[in-house]
């Protein structure tokens, strides 16, 4: 930390703005002033703050005395912690989000911080990168109340803002009028509203450089963009802000994931195609679906089964008639014989019935959330009245692991899928309390007339806070656990609601690691928080089968690259509603390139497996042939993400930050640094307007090159075709596409060497066993220069295949054509360095 940047100026500063850019109240809040001499200890600067005037108490009770601590970590991450002096406000403990406070990040952004007191608005601070101010709260009073925090920073005019959510939205946020609400909610991806996860990390691009900020707080909040400011409005806790200096987008993501947790390593097989449907009526129907994929020549890696397999939708059970356990086990064995996999769903809600053994055992372990009077909190989910595991309770992990152990002894699945973990409930409050456990209530949406909403008690500000975040429900507790429900440590859900899915993923991941020691598990979760990527992957929930949702699936995928969860995708062809042949064909042409590629739809929708329509089947075969050839390329980038956090699917603005034309592009995306996908996302279109940044771009299929100066091109896109381009300067490692990932991995390699305008190219390849944690691994860098192809690396993993084909693409500018040189029938070693002239 530069001590010179930590001087607390007690001289006045002319206010740069009004008391608040867009105040949520007409009250004038005084802000804070210095109340002690600064101290520096172990690199942390601290000073006490106190209210600079009469309290305003706009949405709670102003807290008079605060403590400010500032830590500047290696110039690329400044932490500003503002907490109540008595530490009564809830802060996330380090065992829930395992925060790395001693990063080894070597990217230096030369950040500095200065803070001052303004006579009108009180304490404020500026963070600069060189001569550029990237976070500036001066002129905006800090509000710190027991149930309301407000922190405001100036941003650039018409700023390029990315991140914040989870929210189905366009990738570049509307900086003039956006509210991103962080309150985990079971909602079917309505446009621009809060849904399943809560991520406060955002990034801003200015003058070709990126910076970002992350607020470490689990309370509900609005993050509002308007009037050249970004404003955090938080329902409690403390200000624990980390500002990242970049300057690249990947530097920001690197610093963020180093703080909250790197993405977990994936088993290789997860990169294949997955299929699921909510509504399979029997194991016979599941078996027929598996057979139909094979007959259609469409590769299917993993068959998923939704809650249909359960006995009356109860966790850890099997329907004795339609999904008898012996038949499900037989299907799993058959899948394994064909080198395929199986995953099934588990929800957190446990039916409240003493005859149901998981409930009885959980009750004995005191593992469930309670009401304020100590009774069980009882909501309603699929099996009726349900209790909810309390991840804070000391015995819950032991109980949950025991239930999973018994479950896996029955069906040793290849992965787990945890859903409804916001946690979702179909009623408001403890609606099952006092009702006989034999009663199974109807689903609320099937009751006619609808049950009226309960009377809202505004006297309890933990049920109805004075500041109402932009959560589109009648009250915060709707569709979830009541905010006044009590956890084992005495905390009410109000403070920790957004952590529920994260903690379920964390606890479940611990079991999976114990269940198969040294084998990388696969865990998919719906609700996420900062750091969830260290434990689980994500899909974007219950989307609609329509063209807008197809488009929005791309920015939703790109958002999670910022959030540190790179293995992500949306339900291909949509979950709700009936897909059409055209929509489904176009969707697989996008979804085949999602990092997580899965077809899935709902029980009331028409079946949409990829073999159902001839056009969709043909489009699927073509595009999955591309994906499966690219499996080693995908796996290399996923492996890189575990080290740097860098996403696999990337927006063009991250790859080409100096090109302002890329700022708004979210209908195209990159895979890694070398592959550009330009799909059709509009109905009846047979061409696509694709932006090609400056450079050479080679068509994947016919290798024709385009030397672009950075402009749009109209590309032909018949219904069974998606445009894929290779960026000049890239070396892409591919293998032959076969019907399973394991079979594809056993085939020999082809290198596609796509030369740039200087006749150079480079690329990486990562190899390991694709399964275990402690596997030896090989990392190879390929480079091409002066007609020489070179392979250098560290060779610790024994690869049993070779490079048997090389394709060199070079664009001849004078002739506006591509020269293709193919070298076949070779055998180049992947276990040692070499160079050859081509």
Strand, coil or helix: 299: coil
Q: Which of 422, 559, 589, 609 is catalytic?
A: 422
- pLDDT band at 110; cut points 50, 70, 90: confident
H-run or E-run covering 231:
strand 229-234
Q: Give me the CATH number covering residue 86.
A: 2.60.40.1760
Give percent above pLDDT 90 in the chain: 93
Q: Give me the CATH number covering residue 670.
A: 2.60.40.1180
What does the pLDDT read at residue 3?
29
Average pLDDT over residues 151-159: 95
DSSP secondary-structure letter at 612? S
Q: Are residues 316 and 253 in the same domain?
A: no
Q: Are residues 497 and 348 in the same domain?
A: yes
Asked if omega into 449 is within 30° of 0 (cis), the reply is yes
pLDDT at residue 18 greater than cutoff 80: no
Strand, coil or helix: 446: helix
DSSP secondary-structure letter at 559? H
- Whether 169 is catalytic is no
Average pLDDT over residues 375-393: 98
User: What is the C-alpha to C-alpha distance for residues 529 and 560, in angstroms, rounded to an integer?
Assistant: 11
Q: Are residues 823 and 758 in the same domain?
A: yes
Counted residue by residue, the chain has a size of 838
H-run or E-run covering 166:
strand 160-167
What does the pLDDT read at residue 76?
83
Sorted by sequence, the CB contacts under 8 Å of residue 556 that are 6+ apart come out as 166, 168, 189, 540, 568, 570
What does the pLDDT read at residue 656?
98
Average pLDDT over residues 554-579: 98
Q: Are residues 255 and 278 in the same domain?
A: no
How many other C-beta atoms are found inside a 10 Å radius of the C-beta of residue 420? 22
User: What is the C-alpha to C-alpha distance for residues 389 and 488, in angstroms, rounded to an integer?
Assistant: 11
Nearest in space to 389 (alpha carbons), one of 550, 503, 260, 546: 503
Task: Give the end of a domain, one of 206, 227, 260.
Answer: 260
What does the pLDDT read at residue 719?
98
3-state secondary structure 770-815: CCECCCCCEEEEEEEECCEEEEEEEECCCCCCCEEEEEEEEEECCC
189 belongs to a structural domain: yes
pLDDT at residue 783 greater than cutoff 60: yes
49-100 pLDDT tens trace: 999 999 999 999 999 999 999 998 766 899 999 999 999 999 999 999 999 9
423-443 pLDDT tens trace: 999 999 999 999 999 999 999
pLDDT at residue 414 greater than cutoff 60: yes
Average pLDDT over residues 669-675: 98
- pLDDT band at 8; cut points 50, 70, 90: very low
What is the domain count for the chain?
3
Q: Which of 150, 169, 319, 419 is catalytic?
A: 419
- Whether 174 is catalytic is no
E runs forming strands in 331-373: 341-346, 350-351
Using CA of residue 424, residue 430, residue 431, residue 432, what is the dihedral sign? positive
- pLDDT band at 606; cut points 50, 70, 90: very high
Nearest in space to 469 (alpha carbons), one of 183, 229, 199, 238: 183
**Phi, psi torsion values for 285, nearest 5 degrees:** -65, -40
User: What is the C-alpha to C-alpha distance for residues 197 and 556, in angstroms, rounded to an integer?
Assistant: 12
Q: Are residues 531 and 666 in the same domain?
A: no
556 belongs to a structural domain: no
User: What is the C-alpha to C-alpha distance for residues 351 and 361, in angstroms, rounded to an integer?
Assistant: 12
Task: Give the end of a domain, one of 539, 567, 588.
Answer: 539
What does the pLDDT read at residue 28?
82
What does the pLDDT read at residue 107?
62
User: What is the C-alpha to C-alpha distance for residues 194 and 179, in angstroms, rounded to an integer?
Assistant: 10
Using CA of residue 515, residue 517, residue 521, residue 523, what is the dihedral sign? positive
Average pLDDT over residues 548-572: 98
Task: Give the end of a domain, one of 521, 539, 557.
Answer: 539
Report the relative pairing of strands 350-351 and 379-381 from DSSP bridges.
unpaired
What does the pLDDT read at residue 75?
67
User: Environment class of residue 449 by beta-carbon count within 10 Å: exposed (0-12), middle (13-18) or buried (19+)?
Assistant: exposed
Q: Are residues 147 and 30 in the same domain?
A: yes
pLDDT at residue 532 greater than cutoff 60: yes
Q: Are residues 323 and 209 in the same domain?
A: no
Average pLDDT over residues 170-177: 97
pLDDT at residue 2 greater than cutoff 90: no
Q: Which of 542, 559, 609, 666 is catalytic?
A: 542
Report the relative pairing of strands 803-812 and 817-828 from DSSP bridges.
antiparallel
pLDDT at residue 354 greater than cutoff 80: yes
Q: Are residues 377 and 423 in the same domain?
A: yes
pLDDT at residue 19 greater than cutoff 60: no
User: What is the C-alpha to C-alpha distance for residues 379 and 820, in angstroms, rounded to an integer?
Assistant: 64
Q: Are residues 109 and 229 in the same domain?
A: yes
pLDDT at residue 624 greater than cutoff 90: yes
586 belongs to a structural domain: no
pLDDT at residue 26 greater than cutoff 50: no
* Mean pLDDT estimate for the chain: 95
DSSP secondary-structure letter at 5? G
- pLDDT band at 7; cut points 50, 70, 90: very low
How many other C-beta atoms are found inside a 10 Å radius of the C-beta of residue 199? 25
Q: Are residues 413 and 311 in the same domain?
A: yes
- 3-state percent helix, strand, coil for the chain, nearest multiple of 5: 20, 30, 50
Greater confidence (26 vs 65) lies with 65
In the block, tokens 């939704």 appear at: 306
Using CA of residue 52, residue 57, residue 61, residue 67, what is the dihedral sign? negative
447 belongs to a structural domain: yes
628 belongs to a structural domain: no
What does the pLDDT read at residue 102?
81
What does the pLDDT read at residue 72?
86
- Whether 65 is catalytic is no
591 belongs to a structural domain: no
Q: Find the domain containing 150 and state its range.
A: 3-260
593 belongs to a structural domain: no
pLDDT at residue 13 greater than cutoff 50: no
What does the pLDDT read at residue 109?
72
Q: Are residues 254 and 274 in the same domain?
A: no
Q: Are residues 252 and 306 in the same domain?
A: no
661 belongs to a structural domain: yes
């Amino acid at each position: 930390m530069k001590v010179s940047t930590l001087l607390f100026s007690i001289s006045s500063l002319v206010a740069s703005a009004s008391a608040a850019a867009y105040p949520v109240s007409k009250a004038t809040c005084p802000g804070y002033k210095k109340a002690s001499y600064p101290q520096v200890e172990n690199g942390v600067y601290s000073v006490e703050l106190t209210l600079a005037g009469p309290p305003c108490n706009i949405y709670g009770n102003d807290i008079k005395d605060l403590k400010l601590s500032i830590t500047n970590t290696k110039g690329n991450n400044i932490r500003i912690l503002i907490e109540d002096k008595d530490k009564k406000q809830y802060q996330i403990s380090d065992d829930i989000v395992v925060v790395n406070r001693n990063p080894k990040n070597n990217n230096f952004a030369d950040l500095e911080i200065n803070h001052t007191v303004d006579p009108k608005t009180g304490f404020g601070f500026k963070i600069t990168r060189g001569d550029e101010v990237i976070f500036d709260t001066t002129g905006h009073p800090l509000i710190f109340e027991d149930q309301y925090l407000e922190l405001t920073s100036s941003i650039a005019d018409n700023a390029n803002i990315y991140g914040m959510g989870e929210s189905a939205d366009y990738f570049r946020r509307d900086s003039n009028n956006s509210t991103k609400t962080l309150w985990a909610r079971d909602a079917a991806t309505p446009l621009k509203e809060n849904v399943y996860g809560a991520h406060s990390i955002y990034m801003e691009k200015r003058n070709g450089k990126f910076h970002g900020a992350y607020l470490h707080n689990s309370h509900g909040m609005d993050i509002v963009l308007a009037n050249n400011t970004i404003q955090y409005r938080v329902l409690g806790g403390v200000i624990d802000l980390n500002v990242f200096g970049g300057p690249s987008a990947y530097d920001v993501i690197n610093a963020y994931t180093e703080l909250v947790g790197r993405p977990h390593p994936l088993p290789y097989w997860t990169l294949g195609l997955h299929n699921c449907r909510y509504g399979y009526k029997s194991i016979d129907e599941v078996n027929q679906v598996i057979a139909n994929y094979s007959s259609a020549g469409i590769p299917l890696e993993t068959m998923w089964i939704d809650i249909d397999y359960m006995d009356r939708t109860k966790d850890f059970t099997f329907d004795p008639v339609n999904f008898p356990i012996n038949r499900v086990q037989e299907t799993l064995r058959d899948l394994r014989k064909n080198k395929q996999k199986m995953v099934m769903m588990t929800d957190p809600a446990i039916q409240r019935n003493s005859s149901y053994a998981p409930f009885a055992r959980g009750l004995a372990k005191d593992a469930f959330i309670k009401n304020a009077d100590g009774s069980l909190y009882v909501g309603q989910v699929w099996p009726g009245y349900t209790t909810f595991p309390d991840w804070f309770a000391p015995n819950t992990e032991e109980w949950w692991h025991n239930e999973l152990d018994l479950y896996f002894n029955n069906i040793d699945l290849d992965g787990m899928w945890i859903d409804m973990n916001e946690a979702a409930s179909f009623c408001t409050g403890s609606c099952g309390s006092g009702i006989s456990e034999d009663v199974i209530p109807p689903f609320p949406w099937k009751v006619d007339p609808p049950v009226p909403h309960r009377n809202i008690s505004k006297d309890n500000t933990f049920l109805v806070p004075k500041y109402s975040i932009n959560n589109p429900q009648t009250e915060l507790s709707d569709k979830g656990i009541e905010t006044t429900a009590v956890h084992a440590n005495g905390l009410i859900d109000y403070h920790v609601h957004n952590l529920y899915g994260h903690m379920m993923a964390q606890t479940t991941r611990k079991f999976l690691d114990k269940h198969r020691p040294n084998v990388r598990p696969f865990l998919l979760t719906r609700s996420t928080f900062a750091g969830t990527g260290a434990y689980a992957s994500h899909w974007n929930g219950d989307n609609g089968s329509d063209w807008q949702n197809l488009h929005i699936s791309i920015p939703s995928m790109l958002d999670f690259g910022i959030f540190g969860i790179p293995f992500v995708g949306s339900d291909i062809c949509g979950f709700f509603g009936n897909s059409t042949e055209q929509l489904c064909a176009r969707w697989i042409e996008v979804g085949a390139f999602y990092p997580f590629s899965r077809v899935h739809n709902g029980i009331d929708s028409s079946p949409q497996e990829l073999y159902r329509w001839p056009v969709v089947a043909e489009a699927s075969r073509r595009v999955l042939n591309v994906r499966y050839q690219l499996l080693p390329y995908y796996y290399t980038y996923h492996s890189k993400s575990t080290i740097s956090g860098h996403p696999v699917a990337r927006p063009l603005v991250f790859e080409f930050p100096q090109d302002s034309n890329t700022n708004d592009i979210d209908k195209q995306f990159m895979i890694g640094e070398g592959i550009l996908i330009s799909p059709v996302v509009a109905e009846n279109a047979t061409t696509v307007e694709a932006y090609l940044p400056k450079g050479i771009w080679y068509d994947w299929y016919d290798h024709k090159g385009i030397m672009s100066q950075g402009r749009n091109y109209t590309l032909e896109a018949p219904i069974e075709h998606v445009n894929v381009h290779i960026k000049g300067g890239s070396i892409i490692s591919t293998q032959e596409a076969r019907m399973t990932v394991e079979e594809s991995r056993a085939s020999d390699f082809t290198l596609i060497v796509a030369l740039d305008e200087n006749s150079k190219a480079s690329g990486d390849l990562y190899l390991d066993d694709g399964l275990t944690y402690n596997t030896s691994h090989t990392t190879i860098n390929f480079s091409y220069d002066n007609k020489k192809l070179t392979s250098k690396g560290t060779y610790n993993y024994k690869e049993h295949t070779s490079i048997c084909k090389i394709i060199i693409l070079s664009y001849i500018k004078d002739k506006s054509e591509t020269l293709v040189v193919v070298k076949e029938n070779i055998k180049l070693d992947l276990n040692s360095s070499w160079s050859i002239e081509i």
